[in-house]
């Protein structure tokens, strides 16, 4: 029996360099998520580092149906077209995690 695919989460740790370009980028991302049934779970700003160190100030969490959908979104032409804008607007560490 095949195990159903588990949800996956794309987590971005962000330091904004250009707020205007960042706002433009953020406004265009939701359209790239829709074909993959992705859901924005959280956008937030760092309150405190409780252990270790962390260099970014903002975080985004996006839920996908599975890791295949997350990777397909990232590699899609629609999202790839936004990467130059993202890179100009912010320093972003973007990771995908599968759920337990």
Strand order through the sheet with 58-64: 39-45, 58-64, 8-16, 90-98
Answer whether CATH 3.40.50.880 is correct for domain 8-98. Answer: no
Give every CB contact of residue 61 below 8 A, 6+ residues apart in sequence. 9, 10, 11, 12, 40, 41, 42, 43
Q: What does the alpha-carbon distance between residue 5 and residue 40 come to, in Å, rounded to a whole number?
A: 19
Please report which confidence band the pLDDT of residue 99 belongs to, taking 50, 70 and 90 as the band edges. Answer: confident
pLDDT (tens digit per residue) in 19-28? 999 999 999 9
Q: Which residues contact 57 (CB under 8 A, 6 or more apart)?
A: 14, 15, 16, 45, 46
pLDDT more than 70, % of the chain:
95
Residue ranges of domains in the chain: 8-98
């Amino acid at each position: 029996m095949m195990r159903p695919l588990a949800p996956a989460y794309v987590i971005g740790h962000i330091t904004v360099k250009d707020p205007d370009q960042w706002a433009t980028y953020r406004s265009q991302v939701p359209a790239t998520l829709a074909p993959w049934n992705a859901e924005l779970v959280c956008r937030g700003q760092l309150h405190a580092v409780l252990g270790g160190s962390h260099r970014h100030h903002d975080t985004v969490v996006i839920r996908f149906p599975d890791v295949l959908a997350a990777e397909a979104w990232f590699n899609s032409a629609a999202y790839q077209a936004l990467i130059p804008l993202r890179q100009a607007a912010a320093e972003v560490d973007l990771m995908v995690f599968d759920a337990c």
